[in-house]
Amino acid sequence: MSWFAGLLGPWRGFAVTLRQMFRPKVTTQYPEEKRVKPQRFHGRHVLNRYPDGMEKCIGCELCAGVCPARCIYVRGADNPPEDPVSPGERFGYVYEINMLRCIFCALCVEACPTEAITMTHLFEMSVTSREDAIYTKDELLVEPDGTPRHPQPEGPLVDLDELRRGHGWLRATAPSGRAAYEGIVAWTPSATYGEPPPERGQAGVTDETDGES
């Protein structure tokens, strides 16, 4: 019977193909269609604003200090008292991230004492020169209404709304990472998404609104 089985072999192979033809396809028609990213996806950074439009960044350079790839360059400056850029004495005068060096580890996000730098779901960052890969404050800082800026905002690949779905990491842990903060709003409101919902999920409570957006 072994010669008969050998004859059937190829057809059994084709059966796999045939079966897959009637199953739902996993291929998406990128860029017309986009897959929904996991909530804690580490995309490109933005610098956030408070709801009143003030910049959250205070130029403290903690992100630059913690960055393992040394891709962040920050310089602080005195806030002009009559027209302050951020609350307090100091603001981020220069803020640059070299996206070619960045390893998207989000340590900068964790280090940030004011939640100024966060990561979005935006990931299309192809550039035509090395200089363009250095994102400055012009590209990183969100508009006063919270919309992220993009070097090519009109491009077919750009879905600026992804930012609003991209603050998943913010809800991953409370500032101190303690379960005791469950149910307490421990984050400052932002021009991007207003006041974030309170912390939950730390003590095994599932959040039915959580999950993929």
Partner 1 sequence: MADAPDQVSITLDGRVVEVPRGALLIAAAIEAGTYIPHFCWHPRMKPVGMCRMCLVEIDTPRGKMLTTSCTTPVADGMVVETSSPVVKKAQEGVIEFLLINHPLDCPVCDKGGECPLQDQTLAYGPGDGRFVEEKRHYPKPIPISDLVALDRERCILCARCTRFSEEISGDPLIEFVDRGNHVEVNTFPNHPFTSYFSGNTVQICPVGALTARPYRFRARPWDLEAVEAVSTVDSVHSKVSLEASMNEIVRISGVDCDPTNQGWLSDKDRFVYEHLLADDRVVVPLIANGDGFREASWGEAVGLAASRLADLGGAVAGLGGARSTNEDAYVFSRFLRGVVGTPHLDAQLDDGLAPEFAAAVEPRALIDDLDDADAILLWGPDLKEELPVLYLRVRKAATAGAKLVVVHPRRTGLDDVAAHTIRYRPGEGPALLRRLAAGEGDLAEARDALGAGKVVALVGRPGLAEPAELAEAVAAFALTLDDARILPLVRRGNVFGALDMGLAPTLLPGRVSVDDAERRRALAARWGSLPDGVGMGATDILEAAASGRIGALVLLGVDPVRDHPRPDLARRALERAFVVALDLFVTDSTRHADVVLPVAGLGEIQGTVTNLEGRVQKLNRVVPPPGQARPAWSILDDLAAALGSELEADAVEKIFEELATLAPAYEGLTWDRFDWAEGRDGVVVPLEGVTPPLRHVPSDPGLAVVSERPALHLARVLYDDGVLVRHCPSLASLAPEAAAHLHPRDASVLAVREGDRVRLEGVGVVELPVVLDPTLAEGTVYVPFNLAETAALGAVPSVRIDVVREAGS
Residues of the shown chain interacting with partner 1 in the complex, contacts defined by CB under 8 A: 58-62, 64-65, 73, 76-78, 88-90, 113-114
Q: For residue 69, with 0-12 CB atoms within 10 Å meaning exposed, 13-18 middle and 19 or more buried, which class applies?
A: middle
**Which is closer to partner 1, CB of 85 or CB of 157?**
85
CB of 36 to partner 1, least distance (A): 35
Look up residue 34 and give its amino acid.
K
CA distance 86 to 57: 7
**Which is closer to partner 1, CB of 101 or CB of 210?**
101
CB of 22 to partner 1, least distance (A): 58
DSSP 96: E
**Which is closer to partner 1, CB of 57 or CB of 122?**
57
Total Cβ atoms within 10 A of residue 116: 28
Give the torsion through C-alpha atoms of 27, 28, 29, 34, to 10 deg. -160
Cβ proximity of 92 and 55 under 8 Å? yes
**Which is closer to partner 1, CB of 84 or CB of 197?**
84
CB of 41 to partner 1, least distance (A): 27
CB of 180 to partner 1, least distance (A): 12
